[in-house]
Structure 1
Amino acid sequence: MIAASSSAAPLPDGGVDSDSLLGGVTLNPLVPILGPLQRHLGRVLIYERAVQRVLLWEDGMVTAWLCVSLAVCTVLLALVPWGVVLHYGLRALGGLALGPHMHLVGRWLERRKAKARREEEEYAAANRAGREAILKVHRVRIGDEARKKVTAAAKRHAGRSASERQVAAFLNDDSRFNLAVVPTRTSGRHKHRSEPDPSRSRAYPLPAAAAPPTISPHEASMQMGH
């Protein structure tokens, strides 16, 4: 991506010469990363500026309705018997969060653990053919789950407007607007690991002459001690 250079000639009135902006260009390697972030930031700023206009009294109509709503809520909340509400409300909330239904949740989790443990034992006790059959069933199940997710995503995509689909197609077709690695919270969420490119990266066995001598753990500990 080519962006305008910041070395523009200042004008006497404090402005910037547009000719110098058009003349100076520079390469910005962060465009593929900062481009999507800038779009998301623009959407967030719409709501942030709306709140700012309300708090700074720049939007008189909305701010007036906010003040009226707060006044009405103040009167209503003053009439609520908060002691009774908190006493029975917290009891009801505790019953809903930690009630008898948690016993059923615990039994469901125990059944899942027992099923996983049983599948691991069956796989460990099976021969080579049996393990291949187990893995085949596992791959079919994963494929069915993936197809269901793709079908659900296609239904959501079909429900969007034509303009939204055109914008999404434009952003997906241009690699500059897509991250090479999708950020996630933890590395454990990565389901598809990167694979080496044989045309660019190869691993060769170390020749026997260049291999380090093999020593016992006792000799290694003695050398580290010295």
Structure 2
Amino acid sequence: MTRDEIVRQALVVAETEGMEKLSLHKIAAAVGVRTMSLYNHVGDKADVLDAMADVILKGIVIPDADEMPWEDALRALARAFRVAALQYPHSAPLVLTRRLNAPAAMPVVEAALRILGRAGLDGASAVHVLRAVIAFLIGTLSREVGFAPTYAGAIPGVVAMRERDLIESGLPAVAAASAELAVCDHEIEMEFGLELLLDAVRRRVEALS
């Protein structure tokens, strides 16, 4: 038994049974040892959760972006983040809520800041943009893994209402967009939001030049 094996089995338990069912007892059973034996390799459950998040972060394949236009490089990095998170959809909230400041995340931060520097942003502006991109990724991926609402087909009492009833209820904008609200393609939504961010960054770069 090693720490890596404990963390690997913790991810297996979380992905097969859900994060709410994850416990040191179940992890120990998956590894094939008594619960107390885990403490030779991990501090506590929080230590295991942090290590699980680090596995996901280390799975981000940072693109070789030096030869790409900065826009393509930032797109590639954001997509790589999404791919890594969706390999462990039940465990991904650990990254999104508790470990984005972990050492394992620093190579991603380094890559993003280098890309934004190539775009022509100074250090302070690059950090502001980085934080905006991180906030966007946290939001869109939280929605995709079921950690945040999508408004797709699940607005209480709204989807079943006829358009006329929605309008009479004082919700004309919801009525007009009801077909679009009923579905949510997560990849399309991420790409749409990413392009909005890129447009904003371009304008900031132009304003600074």
Same fold per TM (> 0.5)?
A: no
Structure ranking higher on relative contact order (CA contacts 8 Å, 6+ apart)? 1
- TM-score, scaled to structure 1: 0.21
- TM-score, scaled to structure 2: 0.23
Largest Rg, 1 or 2: 1
